[in-house]
Structure 1
Amino acid sequence: DDGQFLNAPDTYMQKIAVGPEARGMIDLRESPTWNLTRIAKAKGKKVQDCTAVILDRDRHTELIAEVRQAGARIRLIGDGDVSGAVMTANPDSGIDVLFGTGGAPEGVIAAAALKCVGGELQGRLRFRNDQERARAVKMGVKAEDTVYGTDDLARGDVMFAATGVTKGYLLDGVRFFGDGAKTESIVMRSKSGTVRVINATHHFNTKPKYSWATGLEP
């Protein structure tokens, strides 16, 4: 339905995300150490056996130091905190929690994805300047320190779909061959909890010829 996603301004969002096992155990207002202790307890493991995924950015220097001080392992990623958040819900990824600050619109997308698989994301807007703050007020943001939960960011029955363009942590990238390409996509729905991974083969000589610029046939 229209209006079910938070109209997030183009600014930063501080985030914490976990999979189903640790849902209800996190609080963005508390320290990473506090959250790691709760996550470890929920998952029946030691903090030293937990792994946090964090964007490799200078702004995360103190965060990385605290997580290491707490004893947890860290996987630094160059980009894509949406996939980093989704990895927390995949037992095969070895990721227990996402910490850090990234784009606010990406936080909404990540919340939608985690809602489909029973995970949790909490976010808090972080403005870089007064212009971003003023624009957010015009968009309806009333309090800068508001902590948004998963259902605040993505309400109702949610579907999430993504296709890999370049190879990433969640999906493989487009692989070209002869007269076509192969793609990997994921589709999830919160109502059913269904997760579908689609590996598709596309033959360019039998598909309509679309313009890369307009998406329409020339």
Structure 2
Amino acid sequence: MELEPTRNLALELVRVTEAAALTAGRQMGRGDKVAADRAAVEAMRLVLNSIQMNAIIVIGEGEKDHAPMLFNGERVGTGTGAEMDIAVDPIDGTRPLAYGTYNALSTVAVAPRGTMFNPGPFVYMDKIAVGPATKGKINIEAPVAENLKAVARANGKAVEDLTAVILDRPRHEKLIAEVRRNGVRIRLLSDGDVAGALMTAWPDSGIDVLFGIGGTPEGVLAACAL
């Protein structure tokens, strides 16, 4: 008879994001995104190191945020158990959190050692995200208009009834204009494109597609979630 209780990795990861979110939540609306991120990083690292696994962070805080913890290549876990790759973003959307607005998330993804996509030094990537109805029917290299038609067909809508989500950045000026030329509504996000990508998969979100250029770590995490 097994007397030693087993631990479920998925539930352990819930504890990881829960700790980061609850700790960072104390900084909500205080106007200090650095303090919010630091609180999330410290809490996430503490709980990650309590999990029975031998894990390496392949997508972490260091490349873009110059963080001293949860950096690429850092080992986390107890050092025993399954060998894993980990991608983390303790808080995606530190500015919305600091300003008391929406779409801040704590995120983590795991995969067996050597299987997590590692983008290396690339900080930003082109992104397109859609819900399950449009899976396999889009092409990131295709023109925006073509992808919008594919999304509309897959969801049984007219193109003019679609809503896209795009980060509100100067680099997206031409993209925003092109999407609107096709008659599509746009919800501009100040930050938090992981939340934006996930909205495409929520039936009642009203979001059909995400376009744009954003952080590579967030792109990988959003892909894992979708």
Provide TM-score, normalisation by structure 1.
Answer: 0.51
Q: Which residue of 1 aligns with 2:204?
A: 92
Larger RCO, structure (CA 8 Å, separation 6 or more) = 1
RMSD: 0.8
Match of 2:220 among 108, 111, 116: 108
Q: Distance in 2 between matches of 1:33 and 1:113?
A: 26
| Structure 2 gaps, min length 5 | 1-111
C-alpha displacement of 1:3? 2.2
AA aligned opposite 1:96: D
Q: 1:87-128: CA deviations, max 9, x gaps?
A: 1000111000000000111111000000xxxxxxxxxxxxxx
Match of 1:43 among 133, 152, 155: 155
Q: Which residue of 2 aligns with 1:34?
A: 146
Q: Which residue of 2 aligns with 1:73?
A: 185
C-alpha displacement of 1:56? 0.2
The count of residues paired between Structure 1 and Structure 2 equals 114
Runs of 4+ that moved beyond 2 A: none
C-alpha displacement of 1:10? 4.4
Provide TM-score, normalisation by structure 2.
Answer: 0.50
Q: 1:40-86: CA deviations, max 9, x gaps?
A: 01110001100000000000000000000011110000111111001
Q: Distance in 2 between matches of 1:3 and 1:89?
A: 28
Q: Give the share of equivalent positions with the same residue, in percent.
A: 61
Q: Which residue of 2 aligns with 1:5?
A: 116
Q: Which residue of 1 aligns with 2:69?
A: none
